[in-house]
Amino acid sequence: MIEYFWLALVPPLAGFLFNGLVGKRLPARIVSGAGCAATGASFLFLLAVFAEFIRLPAEEQQIVHRLFTWIQAGTFTAECSFLLDPLSMIMLLVITGVGFLIHVYSTAYMEGETGLYRYFAYLNLFVFMMSLLVMAGNYLLLFVGWEGVGLCSYLLIGYYIERKSAGDAAKKAFVVNRVGDACFLLGVFLIFKTFGTLEFGSLFETVSRTHPQPESGFTVLAAITLLLFLGATGKSAQIPLQVWLPDAMEGPTPVSALIHAATMVTAGVYLVVRSAALYSRAPDVLLLIAVVGVLTALLAALTALVQRDIKKVLAYSTISQLGYMFMALGVGAFSTGIFHLFTHAFFKALLFLGAGSVLLRLHHELDLFRMGGLRNSLKVTCWTMWVGTAALAGIFPLSGFFSKDEILWRALDSPLGHPVFWVAGLVVAGLTAFYMCRLMFLAFYGSPGHGHGESGSEAGTAVTAPLAILAGAAAVAGVVGLPAYLGDHRLDHFLAPVFRYSYDHGVSAGHGASHSLELLAGGAALAISLLGAGLAYRLYARDRSIPRRLANRYPGLHGTLLQQFRIDQAYSRFVVGGLKVLSRRVLWRAVDVGVVDGAVNGTASLFRRWSGVATRMQSGNTRTYAAWIVTGAALVFLYLYSVID
Amino acid sequence: MGMVPATHYLALGAVLFVIGVAGFIVRRNVITMFMSVELMLNAVNLTFLAYARTWNQVDAHIFVFFVMTVAAAEAAVGLALILGLDRHSQTLDIDTVNRLQG
Amino acid sequence: MEQIVFYVFAAVAVGSALLVILQQRAVYSAFSLIVCFGALAVLYFQLGAALVAALQVIVYAGAIMVLFLFVIMLLDPKSERFGPDRFKKTALAALPAAAFLAFVLLRVFPAWSPRGSGDPLGSGEGPKRIAHILFQDYLLPFEVTSILILVAILGAVVLVKHRPD
Amino acid sequence: MQVNTTALLPEILLAVAGILLMLAIPLLPSRQQVRLGYAASLVLAAALVVVLFQWDNSGPAFFGMVSMDPLGGGARILFLVSSATVALISVSYLKRERLRHGEYFPLLLMATVGMSLMAVSADLIMTFLGLEILSISGYVLAGYRRGDPRSNESALKYFLLGAFSTAFMLYGIALLYGATGSTEYSRIAESATQGQAETATFLLGLGLLLVGFGFKAALAPLHIWTPDVYQGAPVPITAHLAVGSKAAVLITLLRLLHQVFPESADQWQYLLWIACAATMIIGNLAALTQTDVKRLLAYSSIAHAGYILLGVIANSPGGAQGVLFYLAAYSLMTLGAFAVVQVFSRRDEQFTKLEDYRGIGYRHPLLSVSLTIFLLSLIGIPPTAGFYGKLFLFSAAVEADLVALVILAVLASAVGLYYYLQLIVLMFMKEAASPPDPIPVPLAVRIVILVMAAGTLYVGIYPAQILVIAGEAAGL
Amino acid sequence: MPLAAYPLSLLLLIPTIGAAVVCLLPPGRERLLKWAALIASLAAFLWSVVLFRNFDNQAGSFQMVERADWFQAAGFRVQYYLGLDGISLLLVLLTTVLIPLALLASWNLKDKLKLYLASILLLEVGILGVFLALDLILFYVFWEVSLIPMYFLIGIWGSSRRIYAAVKFFIYTMAGSLLMLAAIVVLYFLMGTGNFDLVEMIGILKRGEAVLSPEVEYFLFGLFFVAFAVKVPVFPLHTWLPDAHTEAPTAASVILAGVLLKMGAYGLLRFCLPLFPWASAQLAPAICILALIGIIYGALVAMVQPDLKRLVAYSSVSHLGFVVLGIFSFNFQSMEGAAYQMLNHGVSTGALFLLVGILYDRRHTRRIDEFGGLAHSMPRYSACFFIVLLGSIGLPGLGGFVGEFLILQGTFLTNVPAAAVAVCGVVLSAAYMLWMYQRVFMGRIGKEANRRLPDLSLREGAMLIPAIALSLWMGIGSGTFLRTMDGSIQLLVDRLDQVKQAQVVRSDVP
């Protein structure tokens, strides 16, 4: 059965086609049922595959299936080939598992929507594309999934088509992603040009042979990895392409949970880890990734501090956490990055779904400051979200603690790490705890906000069950990656075959540092998180006037934070606006209509003018005509004069 | 008795020809223009005859007959057309004949 | 003797030719033209073309010019009024004309004085030889001129005849 | 030396028929005079048959005044077909315009005699006389619409300027005679080859001859009379001037330059190079802004004369072949176009403005589709005769290293596209302004249009036959 | 069947007969006329499928060759010489696919229907002839024959500025092709074969039996290139295209964008490269720059167009820039990609024009700001539009990606900066297309007129489904089409390599 793992793609695709083609005329129950069933089937199938997979010896945990040759032109070949290895296995499980829960949640959340068939079709398509992305056996097929999830993201962000903002956000997401994709493509070209293949297996093997040692400086590998990383910044919303993700919250909340928190945005992380064989040989690029990760994490966390929109807070949090993951990758801790990806998928999905539950209750009121006091009416939501918050904030012993702690530790401990990363990570951890607790206090505590009373309740089991399951997962998922002082890091071992061609910097080996130091570092992180939480409690649970006063006193700073350091505005003004002006005023009106077409029409009118000259010869006067004849004769004489003698 | 060189006859022919050309361009009266053409034809005839003498041939004399015939034929048709012009516009001024132009 | 005749009549020819184009009234132009033709007839004669000279007087100065005069009198054209800038225009035209003449007179004609191979033209044999050539070598052109004249007659008839049908 | 009367049998036939027709005027009642036109066409056809039978005849006749050769034969075919076509489209025209038939057709036949003589002439005097017959009948025919001042003006301008240029040509002949002592083609060529002729006089004579022919062939800047004359002349006569007359002059020019003046090729090629360029440019440019169809076609014919010069300048049998082929193609399309214009112009030639063609495409499909074919052929788009005409001309020119001139021709004809298209646009793409107006198409004209259209297409699809004839005529 | 012995002639004959039948049928019977035309075009399609199946992918040379003297006289020999290779085969197929769709698109036309149908069928003959002809004169004849019906289609059935557009189109193209005619004549004399046989000429040049001097080769290449560049269109010669596309009726736009532009690119592949490889190689950098300008410039200008058709038209400028870039990057991938992109552009842009036409039929405007929120009133239509649009912007899984990818990949191998710039085109295409989609389909329905627009009809569906299916097939099963081209492209590449090697030799000996 395991060799048919790629059949996991079939149910979501079938679901997509079913809902897309005939869903419009079917009742909502069938539509949503089909959507859930497709993802569920895929998940179950993959569980079965996993059961078999886990039993294989480590060296056999690399199954390639070649379906057909997709593109072939001369020496260039792109197969439609699938790869199942621990990395894709774990990704697939997360995608379909979390995806299934979110499908189920959606049946309730999206109830009554007219375009339900579209929604589920897109969602299934997304699961298909995301699975394709992680299952792909070469860069080009990966790119198919890569673009495919971008497309689904576009469709789902723009799901509420009548909203202009949704359309804008969708378009922005796609176009910004395309910038990254373009770089990705260039990376792919360079890979082919350099190594002549795009298949992961043979490529990594070749690389390990031709480039046994990492080289610093601007090598070919550095160029490749840099280009791929630029692609990853698009998908994973890192600096400089982070601007689309906050806007992407225009989509339905479950979509935000699935695509813009749990799965799609982590594709960048996946890409880097998948290419670990390349990245591990380009230390300078790794450093850059770490720097970008840290900066993004800091920037997003700071921005999240002041957001009023509940989903925006979560969105910035996501960016920040992704930055964390990249920091891990940047210090060479690839499996740690995946570990955080794994845990993050649960708690961030949970948080978004919780937020969705709040929105359902409040009829899509997004402003945190108009909420409050929901803890009584939304009990399940409240406590599950606390679990999620705690996990995100890295409170022991929830999953987030382990993964985040490991990242911080690697940043300090890895030969590629640096204490600065660690310190920055600590700050982000504190900030995270602060803004998450701020969110919780604002939403669930204090006096009820405007427009809603104490009455009202949870939306139903379709909502609460996924919340509960995710809360459970968020709580315990850390067990797969216990730190050395607590036990076995199973994830590391599981993922080990993935990195067989990577250059081993000795990241996980430990550098003579003792467990105690690691323990100390973990304690520090925990302490900082608790500090952040406490501060939030002080500022938002008890007396909310301080933040307001702060904001009033430093409007510039507040605005800057609120506007994400105004990067987005700069982009839209200078890049987008600039291009529009360039296109409309310069290229179209001036160059195309003015110069190029002007030259054409100008030639035409020039000919008309010359025509006027030619017809002016034709005055109608016979004597003038005679003069012309004499002129002609004179010209002949003139020539003959020059010839004769 | 010295013979006048042929060149002098040729020169006279050229002068008359040029006078004819000038007359054609300068004059507005259609008949005068036509007379200028006749002048040009006579200049040609003189040239023919001058060359006939230098070549010692009579062929050129015959050419002159033909030219005269042609001149007569042209005169017949031309004067008929001039009569037509007068009938249409009661003028012989060529400068007024410019209905067709452009 | 020949030289005197030539220069006198050449002067007459050029003078009358100038008068043709400088007279304001067409009638005077016609008279000048007749004078010019007469002067040319003399020169033709001097060139040994007695028959041509005779025809020049009879056909050209006689028949054709009478036709001209007839038409002129019939239509009675008003005298032409020359524009005020006439002299400027004339000067402008005179320049290329002078250049052309200089070119022809100084470069072309002097370079060439063929000595013919044919027999010299006896004064009395002229018409006979001409007839001989005309009706043998130039038979076809001669016949063709009849067509030409036919065309001209037909043309004149068509163009002048009053309302047809 | 022999008279060899049979050599000129076609011309004699035409001349006699012309005289007979003339004599028939008083005998026939005016109603019956329509038949004169058909009789003239028949005579022309008969002459054509004679020419075809005599195709293999060659050698001099009439004491070296004329000389039979394939070039003359090919040219005569062209003239006879052209004149016959003109005769056919004239019958209904004369009837419609209430003009006399009696004098018209003899004049046309005589003009044909003139063209024919030019084509076979072997002596400058003969050529001159042929040209004069053609010209004088042309003056008369151009002024044939006596009631119309435009026609008179046209004829008068044609006459005055024609006579003026004739004097130039005669002067040239005189100088050539002076330089060589003869007017016979072969003798002139001979003395030039042997270096006996004095260069200055010879070249000056050649130059003046070129001025005369350039005028008749409407080469810039001597084209100046053409638009006015073409516009004012009766439509069939415009066709005659644009096709038969022009072809006669061009073929004679071709023969003179290729056979009589090959020694001075450098000089006349240089002069014609400039004339060719100027003609193509001025013809096409001036046509751009025309509003009258006849005038437009006049400029078009100027431009086409420019293209034809390419073949003349090439100074090779291939060039001559190109010229003859082009003339054949040009005759087909131009005669066809004028036939359509004749029908469209209606009573008193009221409708010759471009605007009058607005929207007629769907009302008179036969006429408009045929006209479109002719116009496309004039543009040079396959599969029409004009395309191959251009191809063969360009080939000859390229072979003679006239690539620059070919490129110029190409660009000029690209400019020229516009005015042909304009007419197509008006016919098919604009709505008619006035209510439909029936246009009677007389049978003879209908046949002419159909034959010309079919011919244009046929030659455009399968040019071999015409090409072979042209090649033979050019001495290939 | 004796005709089966002349497969390519039969292909030309089918639409010709169709046109003749349409002309002969009584004008009143509109349905009959339309069906006759449609059946003729479908028959041509089916026959081309048969050709496709019988095509031997292994051979790179011309197949199903038909060759006979057309005429031979006075030193001129013109042949009726048809042949099919991998590149032309696919373009033939594209043509026969698009023509029925174009006919369906104008199913409701009433005005001068007969002339219209006959024009389209004649146009098909001309286009097919261009792709099949192997004699330069024959090629030129078909080239021009395809021009006239299109001129009439734009000029008679176009919208308000149709005449300007038609005349501009005609003069632009004709000016280019007249230059080509001059070049053909020059080539004819230089080769000295006494005929216009393309295959023979290439053979002679290849074997070195005739050598063109650099000046001559530049000159001839330039003349050919201008003719084809106008048609493609390459950057500064493109301004006829927005006008022509915009003013043309839907069917004509479809054919114009779908096939006619390909004639230019095809000409580059068929004539410019194999005949003048040296000049091509020398000028390639400059041409690549023009192509890049076209890509970026076309995309940017498309972005700000207020008119749907104009937008699509400028997008064609951008897409065809990719094609030219691919051709002049001179390696197997890029050239095959270029050929593939030609196909894909034909399908996707053809479909886009069909879609815009559908909208125009309903609202009689193409202004983007007249629309908005159409996804509500026309969901099926918007879905189709979106899929086609994705194909156009090169989403993997649809046809556009394969072509674009191969072009870029190939270009990257030889010219990294060019590929880097061209990649920007990928981003921009997403930008202008999605922005347009947003303004037309998303948001609220602003104008009352858009509220009750009927969704796709069966007929309209029938013309879109094949296009979409084809796009998907080309995106996933690219092998079907790529394999047919391998041999032909390989020949081209070999020809270019030959020159490159020769150049090495030449530079050794100064």
- pLDDT greater than 60 at residue A510: no
CB–CB of E289/E260 below 8 Å? no
Q: Which chains touch A (3 or more CB pairs under 8 A)?
A: B, C, D, E
Average pLDDT over residues D210-226: 92
- pLDDT greater than 90 at residue D13: yes
User: Regarding beta strands A63-73 and A76-84, do their DSSP bridges make them parallel or antiparallel, or are they unpaired?
Assistant: antiparallel
Structure tokens at A310: 């509940």
Mind telling me how many Å the CA of A645 is from chain D's nearest CA? 8
- Counted across chains C and D, CB pairs separated by less than 8 A come out at 96
D123 contact residues in C (CB cutoff 8 A) = 141
Q: Cα dihedral angle (A446, A452, A453, A456), rounded to 10 degrees?
A: -110
- For chains C and E, having 3+ Cβ pairs within 8 Å is answered no
Mind telling me how many Å the CA of D201 is from chain B's nearest CA? 11
Q: Which chain D residue has its CA at the smallest distance from C112's CA? A: D198
In a 13 Å sphere around the CA of A541, the CA atoms on its Cβ side amount to 15
pLDDT at E340: 92
Question: Tens digits of per-residue pLDDT, C10-62?
Answer: 999 999 999 988 888 888 889 999 999 999 999 998 888 888 899 889 888 88
pLDDT at D138: 95
User: Which of D140, D159, D291 to substitute to test the interface with B, most B CBs within 10 Å?
Assistant: D159
Model confidence at B1, pLDDT cuts 50, 70, 90, reads: very low
Model confidence at C163, pLDDT cuts 50, 70, 90, reads: low
User: Regarding beta strands D66-68 and D59-61, do their DSSP bridges make them parallel or antiparallel, or are they unpaired?
Assistant: antiparallel
Average pLDDT over residues E104-126: 89
Average the pLDDT over each of A341-355, B88-102, C17-31, C112-126 and give the range with the smallest value: C112-126
Q: D149 preceded by cis ω (within 30°)?
A: no
Mind telling me how many Å the CA of B2 is from chain A's nearest CA? 31
Q: Which amino acid is at D325?
A: F
Model confidence at A516, pLDDT cuts 50, 70, 90, reads: confident
pLDDT at E503: 64
- pLDDT greater than 50 at residue E508: no
Give the H or E element holding residue D296: helix D293-314
Cα–Cα–Cα angle for D206, D210, D216, rounded to 5 degrees = 150
Q: Which residues contact D233 (CB under 8 A, 6 or more apart)?
A: D141, D142, D143, D144, D151, D154, D155, D158, D241
- pLDDT greater than 60 at residue D473: yes
DSSP code at position B5: P
Q: Which chain B residue has its CA at the smallest distance from A615's CA? A: B102
CB contact under 8 Å between E301 and A588, yes or no, is yes
B40 contact residues in D (CB cutoff 8 A) = 164, 167, 171
Please state, in angstroms and as integers, the Cα–Cα distance from residue A461 to each residue in A108, A375, A472, following that order: 9, 18, 16
Percent of chain A scored above 90 by pLDDT? 20
* Residues A302, A308, A313, A319, CA torsion sign: negative
Question: Tens digits of per-residue pLDDT, E183-204?
Answer: 999 999 888 888 899 999 998 8
Dist CA A247 CA A629 (whole Å): 79
pLDDT at E510: 39
Dist CA E139 CA E501 (whole Å): 31
On whether any CB of chain C is under 8 Å from the CB of A634, the answer is yes
Of the candidates E135, E15, E23, which has an alpha carbon nearest to the alpha carbon of residue E71?
Answer: E135
How far is residue A592 CA from its own chain's centroid? 37
| Greatest C-alpha distance within chain C | 61
B99 contact residues in A (CB cutoff 8 A) = 620
Question: Tens digits of per-residue pLDDT, D175-200?
Answer: 999 888 889 999 999 888 887 767 88
**Pick the residue with more confidence: B23 or D32?**
B23
Strand partners, E197: E135
Dist CA A394 CA A401 (whole Å): 4
pLDDT at D435: 67
What is the radius of gyration, based on Cα positions, of chain B?
17
CB contact under 8 Å between A634 and C100, yes or no, is yes
Average pLDDT over residues A266-278: 90
Average pLDDT over residues D327-344: 94
pLDDT at D312: 93
Average pLDDT over residues B51-61: 85
pLDDT at D326: 95
Average pLDDT over residues E259-263: 92
Structure tokens at B85: 């012009």
- pLDDT greater than 70 at residue A341: yes
User: Regarding beta strands D59-61 and E63-73, do their DSSP bridges make them parallel or antiparallel, or are they unpaired?
Assistant: unpaired
Average pLDDT over residues E390-415: 90
User: Regarding beta strands E76-84 and E63-73, do their DSSP bridges make them parallel or antiparallel, or are they unpaired?
Assistant: antiparallel
pLDDT at A406: 86
Question: Tens digits of per-residue pLDDT, A302-313?
Answer: 888 888 888 888
D residues 208-227 lying closer than 8 A (beta carbon) to B? 227
Model confidence at A57, pLDDT cuts 50, 70, 90, reads: confident
DSSP code at position A398: S
Structure tokens at C144: 């063709």
Model confidence at C165, pLDDT cuts 50, 70, 90, reads: very low
pLDDT at C114: 59
Q: Which chains touch E (3 or more CB pairs under 8 A)?
A: A, D
Average the pLDDT over each of D21-35, D381-395, E135-149 and give the range with the smallest value: D21-35
- Counted across chains A and B, CB pairs separated by less than 8 A come out at 30
On whether any CB of chain C is under 8 Å from the CB of A637, the answer is yes
Q: D317 preceded by cis ω (within 30°)?
A: no
Model confidence at C79, pLDDT cuts 50, 70, 90, reads: low
- pLDDT greater than 70 at residue C87: no
Strand partners, A81: A66
**Pick the residue with more confidence: D104 or A111?**
D104
Question: Tens digits of per-residue pLDDT, C106-160?
Answer: 777 776 665 554 455 554 456 777 888 888 888 899 989 999 999 999 999 888 8
Sequence-distant contacts of A126-130: CB under 8 A, at least 24 apart: A126/A99, A126/A152, A126/A153, A126/A156, A126/A258, A126/A259, A126/A264, A127/A12, A127/A38, A127/A39, A127/A42, A127/A95, A127/A96, A127/A99, A128/A9, A128/A12, A128/A13, A128/A16, A130/A95, A130/A99, A130/A263, A130/A264, A130/A267
Average pLDDT over residues E457-484: 89
CB–CB of D107/D140 below 8 Å? yes
